[in-house]
Amino acid sequence: MTATQSVDFQYEPRVWQDHITAFFNEKLVFGATAYRDNTLQTSPGLTVTFPYFTPIGDAEEPLETEGLQVDSIADDSFTATVKEVGKAVGIKKKAFKKSAASTDRIIEEVSMQLGRRMAEKVDTDLLNEFSGVGNFINGFTPTLAAQVMTVKRIAEAKIMAFGDRQNEAGFIHMHSRQYLDLLRDDQFAALKAENDFYVEGSIGRILGMIVIVNDRIPASSVVDGRPTYRAFMHKANAYGLHMKQEIEIETDYDILHREWVFTANQWYAVKSLHAKVNSGDLRTAEIITTVGA
């Protein structure tokens, strides 16, 4: 007889690890550079009104015998409408009993994923708002395949869009392919590595602007067979999030269908302030570039 070996045991127990949290690929960045307004949480109604004063006319050069023309000061306003956003997850009672994960672990995961999806929705709405028609000025559009992202091209687009107010631009959102072309630029040493504003994807400053890299930056038309992307430069308070109700997660049990239901609900408005108070009050600029091979 020989000693017992591992092959003599036919039954192998299954070794279970804890459930791994779901992976979400999108980085949340656009909310970090938006201005935040919570006054709606304590005010009635579903409309945000932005009142502003309109400018008076130019100064005059009256003759000695003439009086000054009397001008008037006036105001105007624009609005944003609050909307409801929600998401629900249902879990049958039997599913709780069958799962290898504990009930508490499943509920924790559901709450995390509901919160994550709601945050992604806010971020996407902000991106769609500032990149929408009328909410930006174009600083550069490529006509040749070689017109990739460079330091000089950023400077050119910033000045073409904002003129002598170009120094007011504080952020630039760009695609990772545009950032790769920037890394290849001989002038890339202009990038300051210090990062005084932490948000996912921020990699430092260039030409006075915090650079934030995110692959949800939208593509544009193909130029000379090369794909293009739309980067965006913003001044302070270029776009905002107006919160009526923070995310609220609720739970209820359907006794007839033996099902637990988890819901997330939120009320808010997003609004670009680009050229809203005055046609010259330009706050967001677009720079389109091709990407290298």
**Cα–Cα distance measured from residue 288 to residue 142, given in angstroms and rounded to the nearest whole number:** 6
Give the CATH number for residue 260: 3.30.2400.10
Please report the DSSP string for 226-274 in residue order.
EEEEEEEEEETTSEEEEEEEEEEEEEEEETTTTEEEEEEEEEEEEEE-T
Give the chain's domain count.
2
Q: What is the mean pLDDT of residues 18-41?
A: 69
- State the pLDDT at residue 131: 96
Q: Which residue has the higher pLDDT, 104 or 130?
A: 130
As a three-state string, the secondary structure of 185-226 is CHHHHHCECCCCCCCCCEEEEECCEEEEECCCCCEEEEECCE
Same domain assignment for residues 190 and 234: yes
Same domain assignment for residues 156 and 255: no
**Cα–Cα distance measured from residue 129 to residue 136, given in angstroms and rounded to the nearest whole number:** 10
Token representation of residue 153: 């091209």
Least confident of 59-73, 209-223, 250-264: 59-73
**Cα–Cα distance measured from residue 220 to residue 91, given in angstroms and rounded to the nearest whole number:** 41
Which domain does 248 fall in, by range? 30-51+77-129+241-272
Residue located via tokens 């201005």? 35
- State the pLDDT at residue 195: 58
Same domain assignment for residues 169 and 282: yes
Same domain assignment for residues 142 and 257: no
Contacts of 78 (CB under 8 A, 6+ apart): 49, 50, 276
Q: Is residue 3 one of the residues assigned to a domain? A: no
> How large a percentage of the chain has pLDDT more than 70?
87
Would you place residue 17 in the very low, low, confident or very high pLDDT band (cuts 50, 70, 90)?
A: very low
Q: Is residue 96 one of the residues assigned to a domain? A: yes
Alpha-carbon distances of 205 from 171, 181, 233, 286, rounded to whole Å: 9, 16, 12, 18
Q: Is residue 141 one of the residues assigned to a domain? A: yes
Q: Considering the entire predicted model, what is its pTM?
A: 0.84
Same domain assignment for residues 246 and 233: no
Express each pLDDT in 33-81 by its tens digit: 888 888 777 778 788 787 878 888 888 888 888 888 888 888 778 788 8
Same domain assignment for residues 170 and 285: yes
